Amino acid sequence: MTVSPSGSPSGSPTGRLPRRLRRVPLNLAALAVLAVSLFPVYWMVLTAFTPTRDIQARTLSFWPAHPTLEHFATAVRADGFWTFCRNSLTVTAGAVLLALLVALLAAFAVARMRWRGRKAFILMVFVAQMAPWEALLVPMFIIARDTGMLDRLSMLTLIYFMTTLPFTIVTLRGFLAAIPADLEEAALIDGCGRTAAFRRVVLPLLAPGLMSTSLFGFITAWNEFAFANALIIKNQDDRTLPVWLSSFGNVFGTDWGATMAAATLFMLPVLLIFLILQRRVTSGLIAGAVKG
């Protein structure tokens, strides 16, 4: 589209104007994409801040006319909210860190070493992504029960670790493979040891990869509902946020304001981590681009 000849002879003095005009449809499309991506989230947050009488009013408002915190108060005061928050954070962070560590080892072996069984290992990792996790509820329940891990958050941590591991390996391996092995070798020639070469050359370049894969792992684990629902039965204090969130219907009834406030709060940690990490991801990408 932009490939069309930009320096057409007619446009030499006013060459800027046609280009800007040509950008109009492009920018309109961009605005449309932006609107579609943002609107549902905007509507969620807006509803969370809108008083119930305004939500039920017959006229629509796209702007918080009378912002209120009543719905957040309702959500936060609901039974066990903070406990579930803490449980979710613990389980998710544990699973993500474990997956990153284990995946980094495996990705290094796959991307940088030649060994018998490597192909089979890659195939196994790829197939593991197809694992029908919802279908494993019954056997998981039996295993947890038989090993005394039922009602334990550590069992959930292990399961979330395993659900995110294959993807983490695949992506980290991709990021590792994109880092030329020559860089490491150059560092080796410059007198670094293998460990130093990895830490000083590969790891900084891999940082964006580690960040984005951990983001994915965080979202997956933070979201998980079926296992948390099935494996935490007796000890209700060990429930996680998604299980609590899914019971909104019972907790808040048709109180859409409180429901949206709870959904907003549920989204908040993911968003915060995203914002913190995303800056590093982009700065890492830019640094990589500058270094060429």
Partner 1 sequence: MTAASQAPARRHDHDRDAPASGPSAPPAAQPRPGPSRLTGLWPYLLVAPTLVGTAYLLLYPLIRSVVISFQHFRTGELIRGGAEFVGLENYLEVLGGAEFWAVVRRTLLWTAVNVTLIMVISTAVALMITRLGRGMRLAVMGGLVLTWATPALAATTVFQWLFQSRLGVVNRLLTGLGLESFQDYTWFADGTSTFVILVALVVWQSVPFAALTLYAALTTIPAELYEAARIDGATGRQVFASVTFPILRPLFGLITSLEVIWVFKCFTQIWAISRGGPGEATTTLPVYAFQVAQSLHKYDLGSAISTLTVLILVVLLITHLRRMLRHEGEQP
**What's the min distance (Å) between Cβ of 59 and partner 1?**
9
Distance between CA atoms of residues 207 and 210, nearest Å: 5
Q: Where are the alpha helices (DSSP H) in the chain?
A: 16-49, 52-55, 70-77, 81-112, 118-128, 137-146, 153-178, 181-189, 194-197, 203-223, 226-231, 241-246, 248-252, 256-291
193 lines the binding site for partner 1 (CB under 8 A): yes
Distance between CA atoms of residues 223 and 266, nearest Å: 9
81 lines the binding site for partner 1 (CB under 8 A): no
Distance between CA atoms of residues 68 and 46, nearest Å: 10
**What's the min distance (Å) between Cβ of 31 and partner 1?**
8
30 lines the binding site for partner 1 (CB under 8 A): yes
Site string for partner 1, 32-71 (x = CB under 8 A): -xx-xxx-xx-xx--x-------xx---x-----------
**What's the min distance (Å) between Cβ of 274 and partner 1?**
4
**What's the min distance (Å) between Cβ of 79 and partner 1?**
19
Contact with partner 1 (CB under 8 A): which of 76, 97, 267, 287? 267
Buried b / exposed e over 84-119, threshold 16 CB at 10 Å, is bbebbeebbbbbbebbbeebbebbbebbeeeeeeee
Contact with partner 1 (CB under 8 A): which of 95, 125, 172, 179? 125
103 lines the binding site for partner 1 (CB under 8 A): yes
Distance between CA atoms of residues 42 and 31, nearest Å: 15
**What's the min distance (Å) between Cβ of 10 and partner 1?**
19
Cβ burial, residue 37 (10 Å; 0-12/13-18/19+): exposed
Contact with partner 1 (CB under 8 A): which of 12, 132, 250, 290? 132
C-beta atoms surrounding 236 within 10 Å: 14
**What's the min distance (Å) between Cβ of 93 and partner 1?**
15
Q: Which stretch binds partner 1 (CB under 8 A): 10-18, 69-77, 78-86, 112-120?
A: 112-120
Name which of 45 and 70 has its Cβ closer to partner 1: 45
Distances (CA, A) of 3 to 6, 67, 76, 278: 8, 48, 54, 31
Distance between CA atoms of residues 228 and 212, nearest Å: 25
Q: Which stretch binds partner 1 (CB under 8 A): 7-15, 71-79, 116-124, 231-239?
A: 116-124
Count of residues in contact with partner 1, rule CB under 8 A: 96
Site string for partner 1, 151-190 (x = CB under 8 A): -------xx-xx--x-x-xx-----------------x--
